[in-house]
Amino acid sequence: MISKLCRKISEKNAPVVVGLDPNLDFIPEFILNKSFEKFGESLEGAADAVWEFNRGIVDATAELIPAVKPQIAMYEQFGLPGLEAYKKTVDYCHEKGLLVIGDVKRGDIGSTSLSYAKAHIGSIRVGSKEFKPFDEDFCTVNPYLGTDGIKPFVDECEASDRGIFVLVKTSNPSSGEFQDRLIEGRPLYEHVAEKVNEWGSLSMDGDYSNVGCVVGATYPEMGAALRKLMPHSYILVPGYGAQGGKAEDLKGFFNPDGLGAIVNSSRGIIAAWKNKEYAKFGAENYADASREAVKAMIDDINSAKGV
Amino acid sequence: MISKLCRKISEKNAPVVVGLDPNLDFIPEFILNKSFEKFGESLEGAADAVWEFNRGIVDATAELIPAVKPQIAMYEQFGLPGLEAYKKTVDYCHEKGLLVIGDVKRGDIGSTSLSYAKAHIGSIRVGSKEFKPFDEDFCTVNPYLGTDGIKPFVDECEASDRGIFVLVKTSNPSSGEFQDRLIEGRPLYEHVAEKVNEWGSLSMDGDYSNVGCVVGATYPEMGAALRKLMPHSYILVPGYGAQGGKAEDLKGFFNPDGLGAIVNSSRGIIAAWKNKEYAKFGAENYADASREAVKAMIDDINSAKGV
C-alpha cells in the first residue's frame, strides 16, 4: 500500500494530506441550517452537516491531493450518526480516487488490537462471508503496549495490502513528557523508532515499509534525526499550519529524493474560508477557499523540501 | 463517580467487573443462527448476536456485580452495526443499574482528546441542545501523548461527574518493551503513575480520585508497588483468568480496607459455558454458566484480597 501512496504523491507532486476533522465551528451556517432543517438540532443533524461539508471539500480538492486523513474523534463525538458520516466520508473519498488514512490511534493487547486491525484495515468473517467494516487504506496506531499490540496491525498490512503509521513523536506541546525521557541515553521516541524498523521489516513494499510513523512538524530537529533512524518508514507529519509547524522546518523530514514524508493540514485547509487570507471566497464558497489553501500548501511544502 | 463505584462494590461485596468482549466464537450457535436468520450472515447479523448474547449475560449477572467493561474493539470490528450494539449494551446496563467502564483506550492531542472525552464521558452541544453520545460512566485512556492529551478527559470527569482509568502497566506480555524501561532509575510506568497522581488531584471524589489507572494482574509485584505509589487512584485490573493472572497475585493491588482495586474478567465469565468446569449448563444456559463463574470469581477475589 505504501508504494501506491508514493506513486500518488509523485503523480500529483503533492506530499500533502488534507485532514478532514470537521468541528461544527468550521462548517458554514448555510450547511448547518440545511441539515438542522432536515434532522433537527440533533446528532443526526450534526453528522449530516459534517458529511455535506466534507463532500464539498473533497469535490474541490481531490484532483490536487493523494490522500485525506479523517480524524475519527471528530465523528465519534457525534455518536453513531457521526460514525456513519465517517464511513460515508471514507467511501466517498475512495470513489474520488483518494487514499484514506484513518486517524484512529488505536492500540490494545494483542487479541484486542486484532479486532481493531480487522475493523479498520482488514476484514472480518461472519459465518461464511467476509466484510471490511471501515475499510481505510492506512490507520494510525499507538505503541504504548509494545509489539503484541502492534503485530496484529502489521499482519493485516501484509494480508490485506494496507499500511499503518505508528505514533513516535507527536506534535502536541506535552508530547515530551514521556516521549522525550532518556532511556540508556536516548529518548523514548528513538526506542519506539527502533521498534518501528523491526515491525516495518515484516511488511516491505518497494523502497518503503507499510509500517510508517508519525512525527510532528512542531519538532523539526527530532524529525530530521528520526528520518535517518527509520530509513524505510514514511513519516506522516501533523502539526503544520494551525499547530505552528512551518514549511522551512520540514526539510529534514524528507529524503534527498523528495519522498519519505507526507504533511497533514486540517484546520488550515478545511477552515480556510474563516481565515482572513481567503475571506474573499465567502462562506458559500468555502470549498473553493479550501482548494486555494491546498494549492498554497503544496507550493509551500514543495519549496521547502529542497528538491 | 468513583465514590459511586466504591459504594456499589461495597454493597455487592464484589470488587469485580465483567468484561463484555464478545467474539463470535463465544456466542452459542442457537443465538448466532437466530440472528443470521433475521439479518443474514452480515455485520448486522453479527451485531444482533452480540447484543442478544450480552443481554443474556447482563440479565443473569447484574445483581451480583457493580459494573461491566465492554471492550469497544469487539464491537468496532463489526462496523457501524457493531457500534450500535455497543451503545445498546451501554444503555441496557444502565437500565439494570450497572456502572459502565468503556474500554476504549482513546488518547490524542488536546483538541482531539476533547472530542473523545465528549463522546464517551461528556456531552456535546449541537445548536442549542446537548447530547451524551456514548454515555459511559468511565473510560480507559492512553497516556503516550502526555498531559495535554489527558487533561480534557479530567476536565470532563469534573464537569460531568465521570471517571477515567489511565493505562499505567498493561497486562500483555510485551507491555514491558516500553513501559518497563528505566528513566532516571525508575520504570516508565512509575513516571506515568506520578502523572496519574497529578491529574488525579484535579478531580477528587471522596477518598479516591476520578482518575484511576490500569495495572495488569499478570504483574503482581508491580501492582503492589503501584498501589502504594498512587494512593488515591482506583486500579482497574485486567488479566485475571484467561490471561493468566491468579487471585493470590492480587492481594497487593488492594488497600488494607479491601478497596482500591476492581478486577476484570472477560473470557472467563462470558465464555464460561465453553469451559469444562461449567459444561454441564450447556449452550442454551450459557448465561447461567456465566452467573456461576461470576460467583466463583467473587469468592476467589474476596478470599485473596485478605480482609
Q: Is the pLDDT of residue A259 over 80?
A: yes
Contact A146 B87 (CB under 8 A): no
Round to whole Å and give the CA distance between A5 and A11: 10
Helix (H) or strand (E) holding A36: helix A29-39
d(CA A289, CA B223): 54
Per-residue pLDDT at A245: 77
Exposure of A202 in the CB half-sphere (CA atoms within 13 A): 19
Identify all chain B residues contacting A143, using CB atoms and an 8 Å cutoff.
144, 178
pTM of the model: 0.97
Model confidence at B247: pLDDT above 90: no
Which pLDDT belongs to residue B306? Answer: 65
- pLDDT tens by residue, A69-103: 999 999 999 999 999 999 999 999 999 999 999 99
Whether residue B307 is predicted with pLDDT greater than 70 in this model: the reply is no
User: What is the tens place of the pLDDT at every residue in A37-67?
Assistant: 999 999 999 999 999 999 999 999 999 999 9
B4 is catalytic: no
Annotated active-site residue in B8, B88, B96, B105: B105
Query: Cell numbers of A202, please?
Result: 515484516
Determine the Cα–Cα distance for residues A251 and B34; give it in Å rounded to an integer: 59
- Considering CB atoms only, which of A109, A174, A191 is closest to B181? A191
Contacts of A73 in chain B (CB under 8 A): 106, 108, 112-113, 115-116, 119
A80 touches chain B (CB under 8 A): yes
Q: Can you tell me whether residue A29 is helix, strand or coil?
A: helix
Please check whether residue B44 touches A, CB under 8 A. no
Amino acid at B40: G
Mean pLDDT of A231-260: 91
Which pLDDT tens digit goes with each residue over B178-234?
999 999 999 999 999 999 999 999 999 999 999 999 999 999 999 999 999 999 999
A76–B142 CB contact, under 8 Å: no
